[in-house]
Structure 1
Amino acid sequence: MKDFFKQIWKMILDSNLLNVVGAIAILIIGWLLALLASKKISALIHKLNARKTVLPDGTEVPQISNSDTFAGKVIYYIIMIFTVLGCFSVLKMHAAAEPLKDFASAVATYAPNIAGALLLAVIAWIVAGIIRSVVKTAMLKSKLNEHLAAQIGAADQDAVAEYTAKTCYYTVFLFFLPAILNVLKIYGITAPLQAMFEKVLTYIPNLIAAGAILAVGLFVAGIVRKAVAGLIIISRLNAFGETAGVSKVFGTSGLAGMVSIVAYILVAIPVVISALTALKIKVLSDSVAGFFNKLLEATGDIIGAALIIFVAVLAGAFAASLVTQLTAALGLDRFLESLGFKSENKEKSTAPSVIVGKLTLVAIVAMAVLAACEILEFTQLAELIRNFVHFGGNVLLSVVVLLIGLWLANFAAAAVKGKCNELVTGAIRVSVIILTVALAVSNLKIGDSIVQITFSLILGAACIAAAIAFGIGGRETAAALLKSWMDKINKK
């Protein structure tokens, strides 16, 4: 009987039945473990997701949807892979188990990398959340979001703080990204990102230095601006400028505002040059700094040109007032009214004497601008202004000639009035006016030949018209005159 059981046991061993039973047992136990582990992991993650975490600024920590189900499935399949691998090993199915064995070996080898990457991602998430909360709380407490919203014209001030906090949040993830990719041994993307961050981190000190130089320099420039404005006001130069009519040129800021702005610019230019140099961007710093250096070198000429224009404005305002009073006293307004130039607008600003005063101011300022352009070596602009001044002088002389011609026409018409009929009086007046207009237009140097031809045609047409009128309308008189002349010749 004993031999019988030995033979049966030997047959069982030879038929691998125990291996099959063991494989089935391993499969069942592994499956149960996979289900249990998957369920426990899913329940744990679901419980963590159900708990709402609120940051100090009032924002909730974002949750990943369906993360519990995903994690449970991952644990389930990992345990089942190792279970199937164990079954194949018990059944001595090495050929079938080899691919799974390689896969499991790769997973086991790469698992620390995944765990490290997940750990870094969790750390990045925690740090980003803290920074986001701190930034948003700081902006809301300091009301910096209100100032930024006013600068960019945003209506929602809280949205500005939220957007800034989110930007910082994702920036932290961006800085952690190269480390996470390095742990995962994904070097193709890591190298460019790491190079970019190295350049950014290398450039940050330059940026901070440039910002500090610019902030301090502009602060000092603001102090200088206020000091200069105060000195000009205290020294009563500003009041003198208002008396001279500077506000008409520089607006409500007056002389103090204009000079203080110039002082601010003179201080700000070296500050900007230093800030650009601190950035160490050679192309930008060389071009912009070169421009500002040339501007500083030309500061003397610019100040001289500005002084010339400023003095010209003061002198022009004084001369305009003097010319206005002088021409009014000489009777220019009454003279032009006698010529028929009567304005329906009774305002004093439209009086001819006032207009002459304004023209005087314009002429003086134009000459000063011409001198300033020559100092600054703006040759083309200087030539343009010179031509404008020359043409303006011709226009002014033509106006004077025209006014004199109108006065002569009225004087000649008044002299023969009563002695001749109205037709002759009108003809004399029109003839003088035409001659005066021709002289005035000719003085403008605009198409001299055209003006001469036109005047000649008008004069010739008038003579021909007079001859035809005399010949046709006065035939009998002409015949009598011709007969008397012939009789006198015959008697001789």
Structure 2
Amino acid sequence: MQDRFIFSISTFPYKNYIEQLLAQEDVGEFPQVVGENSASFTLGLNNLGALLVQVVIAVALLFVGWIVATVLARVTQSILKRVRLDEWLTQFLGGNESLQGLSPTAILSGAVFWIIFLLGVVAFLDALRLTTVSQPLNAFLNQIFSFLPKLGVAILLLDLAWVVATISKMLVTQSARSLNLDRSLPLESREEGAPTMSVAEMLGNTLYWFVFLFFLPLILGVLNLEGSLQPVQNLLNDILGTLPFIFKAVIIAVVGWFVARIIRSLVINLMTAMGIQRIGQRLGLGQASLGESLATVIGTIVYVLILIPTAIASLEALQIQAITAPATAMLNEVLTALPRIFTAAVILILAYVIGRFVAEAVQNFLQTIGFDQLLVWLGIEPSPATATEPQGSSLGERPPHWRQPSEVVGIVTLVGVILFGAIAAVEVLDIPALSAFVSALVVILGRVLVGILILAVGLYFANLTFRILAGSGTSQARFLAQAARIAIMTFVGAMALQHMGVATSIVNLAFGLLFGSIAVAIALAFGLGCRGIAAAQVEEWIALLKGRNSTPE
């Protein structure tokens, strides 16, 4: 019987009365207690019934709220899937992996579910008259519903920004393509295999995101995000303050670029009409040696000379000292150095032209006096396959496998004239390090040339000595001739290397050791081979001396 009265409801007003009933030890006293408190017990049962009705109503409200939240969440999810919100946001953020597995549709539908379900929870708590618990939830929901109109206005502004940005991008892209900017200013892809972005697309995307940047302060202001609004507003003010200078610099650069292209085309056509290419081919400055035609080279030089002042003016129009000051100073130095560079280039070209003329003259003169027989004079006979003189060979054509000595001298003459012209050119450039390098190079090449001449003269005299000794007809004449030739060549080689400055101390030491070893070898050979003869001669000298000493005075 007591077990039927065991229930725990903290809000029941007659909890003490029921505990008193359960505390009676004698069952007989129970009717008396009930009789005394029958009126109070009836009132408690009525209150308990009302409480049960409130609980049932609260649970029903919570259940209905859950059903409504589930239905609205599914409806929201279905609508968002139909409008393809996930795909649109993925394309908007630029890439299939930009959301990193997040689904905006699932997030929004979940938010709708929990907001409606929280309304059901608040209704459940209000039905139970638990206002202390429901007040924080009511405040939270009031903040959410007060923020929803602001969020709606922000979404409308974002949609408006998207429409304006899309239209602006389309207009700019079509205008750039109609002006053929993609062909005039091609862009190369940085990564291999990546799609190449055209200039029109780059300009359209830039304007697209600029429109969103302009709408961003409005959106943040509607959402009352003052902390995030101030940096964006400062950035936008800086950009708007810099845009006029940027537009001015861009206009200067574009106009200068177009003018430079037009003038380059005019110069190339004018030079071609004047026959500059034929003059260049006569001077050896044809397309084969330069890689481009002479008219194209001159046009490119004029193009660069126009672009440098244009770049200086464009950088000065930006009025950003941290960027423009170093760049402008560098371009001014280049522009100041251009006359010296042009003068040095003219000197080198003149040296090349004069060198070719002198080389041709020297080559023709040497061929006339029979200098091509130099190898025969020196005793170096070329092979029959290469001994024939090449036909039509000149310094401007592809050399054959065997060059005549006159051609070699002509090339050396050309290189010498160009080197002297290079000395004058680097002096004009006023670069001390380069001047010292070219001067040292000329000195070294001069020493090498003199060393080669010493070797040639020594080879001539060595072969001459060989022929004289070999034709003397004496015994061991060829051996003596060969030894003399080797000795002369060794001596001359040491002189040539010493004059070239190639390890002078090592050459002297090697030369001294070589001749010292030869002298020691001769001494040993004479001493060991002629030992008996030397002993007989010494005995004869001793006997002669003794005979003189024994003769009476």
Residue 412 of structure 2 corresponds to residue 359 of structure 1: yes
Residue 504 of structure 2 corresponds to residue 444 of structure 1: no
The answer to whether the Cα contact below 8 Å between 2:189 and 2:196 also exists between their aligned partners in 1 is: no
Could you list the per-position Cα deviations for residues 305-361 of structure 1 after superposition, in whole angstroms to 9, with x for gaps in the alignment?
111011011111212222222223333321114434455573653222222211211
- Find the aligned partners of 2:274 and 2:458 in 1 and give their Cα distance: 52
The answer to whether the Cα contact below 8 Å between 2:189 and 2:197 also exists between their aligned partners in 1 is: no
Equivalent residue for 2:189, pick from 130, 152, 160:
152
Report how many aligned residue pairs link the two structures.
Answer: 474
TM-score (norm 1): 0.78
Equivalent residue for 1:395, pick from 448, 456, 462:
448
1:4-43 to 2 correspondences below 5 Å: 43=75
Equivalent residue for 1:268, pick from 280, 297, 307:
307
Closer, same or farther: CA 20–105 of 1 in aligned 2, 3 Å:
farther
Name which of structure 1's ranges 226-235 and 245-254 shifts more when overlaid on structure 2.
245-254
1:299 corresponds to: 338
Offset of 1:303 from its aligned partner? 1.4
Could you list the per-position Cα deviations for residues 271-329 of structure 1 after superposition, in whole angstroms to 9, with x for gaps in the alignment?
11111112222122111111111122222211111110110111112122222222233
- Find the aligned partners of 2:258 and 2:114 in 1 and give their Cα distance: 60
Equivalent residue for 2:434, pick from 381, 385, 389:
381
Name which of structure 1's ranges 117-126 and 388-397 shifts more when overlaid on structure 2.
117-126
Residue 491 of structure 2 corresponds to residue 468 of structure 1: no
Closer, same or farther: CA 275–227 of 1 in aligned 2, 3 Å:
same
Offset of 1:400 from its aligned partner? 0.9
Structure 2 stretches lacking a partner, 5+ long: 1-42, 86-90, 97-102, 394-398
TM-score (norm 2): 0.70
The answer to whether the Cα contact below 8 Å between 2:213 and 2:236 also exists between their aligned partners in 1 is: no
The answer to whether the Cα contact below 8 Å between 2:65 and 2:117 also exists between their aligned partners in 1 is: no
The answer to whether the Cα contact below 8 Å between 2:447 and 2:499 also exists between their aligned partners in 1 is: yes
1:65 maps to amino acid: T
Offset of 1:48 from its aligned partner? 7.4
Residue 240 of structure 2 corresponds to residue 201 of structure 1: yes
- Find the aligned partners of 1:481 and 1:398 in 2 and give their Cα distance: 48
The answer to whether the Cα contact below 8 Å between 1:217 and 1:271 also exists between their aligned partners in 2 is: yes
1:177 maps to amino acid: L
1:312-331 to 2 correspondences below 5 Å: 312-331=351-370
Could you list the per-position Cα deviations for residues 376-424 of structure 1 after superposition, in whole angstroms to 9, with x for gaps in the alignment?
1111111111111111111111111111111111111212223232221
Pick the structure with more helix per residue: 1
- Find the aligned partners of 1:371 and 1:140 in 2 and give their Cα distance: 51
Name which of structure 1's ranges 127-136 and 452-461 shifts more when overlaid on structure 2.
127-136
1:290 corresponds to: 329
2:485 maps to amino acid: R
- Find the aligned partners of 1:21 and 1:141 in 2 and give their Cα distance: 77
Residue 257 of structure 2 corresponds to residue 218 of structure 1: yes
- Find the aligned partners of 2:118 and 2:146 in 1 and give their Cα distance: 14
Percent sequence identity over matched residues? 26
1:304 maps to amino acid: T
The answer to whether the Cα contact below 8 Å between 1:39 and 1:72 also exists between their aligned partners in 2 is: no
1:116 corresponds to: 153
Closer, same or farther: CA 438–34 of 1 in aligned 2, 3 Å:
closer
Equivalent residue for 1:180, pick from 219, 226, 230:
219
- Find the aligned partners of 1:162 and 1:51 in 2 and give their Cα distance: 30
- Find the aligned partners of 1:210 and 1:373 in 2 and give their Cα distance: 36
Closer, same or farther: CA 144–72 of 1 in aligned 2, 3 Å:
farther
2:116 corresponds to: 76
Structure 1 stretches lacking a partner, 5+ long: 1-10, 54-58
Residue 102 of structure 2 corresponds to residue 65 of structure 1: no
1:91-106 to 2 correspondences below 5 Å: 98-106=135-143
Offset of 1:28 from its aligned partner? 7.6
Closer, same or farther: CA 41–399 of 1 in aligned 2, 3 Å:
closer
